[in-house]
């Protein structure tokens, strides 16, 4: 347990897709008064997609959350670009849920 502004914080409400440990969230809440929930990375041939949302201990979004992160390594083949586009849409729908 950690103390934030005199309030005992023992847990944080995570989205179902969050892959971050409770311990990490408690540390984030202690030092920054917010937790950053990260999805697992979705990867393909030359690309990677993850998304995140920053919340307070109650799971209420803070800052400009949610955010999607797309990284690529140089040019993509048509097949890889199509896979990225479809996966990005799936990640978008999960992040916007
Ligand atoms: Zn989380």
Q: Is the dihedral of CA 14, 64, 34, 43 positive or negative?
A: positive
The overall longest dimension of the chain from CA atoms, in Å, is 54
Written in H, E and C, the secondary structure of 10-75 is CCCCCCCCCCCCHHHHHHHHHHHCCEEEECCCEEECCEEEEEEEEECCCCCECCCCCEEEEEECCC
Write out pLDDT tens, residues 41-60. 999 999 999 999 999 988 88
Separation between Cα atoms, residue 90 and residue 77, nearest integer Å? 20
Distance in Å, CA 75 to ligand 1 centroid? 33
Cross-strand bridge partners of residue 42? 49
Dihedral angle over CA of 21, 24, 26, 28, nearest 10: -140
- 76 C-alpha to center of ligand 1: Å? 32
Whole-number Å distance, alpha carbon 49 to ligand 1 midpoint, is: 17
Q: How much distance in Å is there from the Cα of 16 to the middle of ligand 1?
A: 8
pLDDT for 2 beyond 80: no
Which domain covers residue 59, as residue numbers? 2-96
Least confident of 38-42, 64-68, 86-90: 64-68
Cα(45) to centroid(ligand 1), Å:
27
Task: Give the Å distance between the CA of 53 and the centre of ligand 1.
Answer: 8
Whether the CB-CB separation of 45 and 79 falls below 8 Å is answered with yes
Provide the pLDDT for residue 56: 92
Residues 11-34 have a mean pLDDT of 93
Task: Give the total number of structural domains in the chain.
Answer: 1
């Amino acid at each position: 347990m950690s103390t934030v502004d005199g309030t005992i914080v023992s847990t944080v409400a995570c989205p179902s897709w969050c892959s971050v440990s409770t311990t990490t969230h408690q540390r984030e809440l202690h030092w920054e008064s917010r937790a950053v929930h990260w999805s697992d990375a979705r990867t393909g041939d030359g690309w990677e997609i993850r998304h995140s949302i920053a919340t307070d201990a109650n799971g209420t979004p803070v800052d400009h959350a949610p955010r999607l992160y797309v990284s690529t390594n140089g040019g993509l083949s048509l097949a890889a670009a199509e896979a990225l586009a479809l996966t990005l849409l799936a990640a978008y729908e999960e992040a916007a849920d």
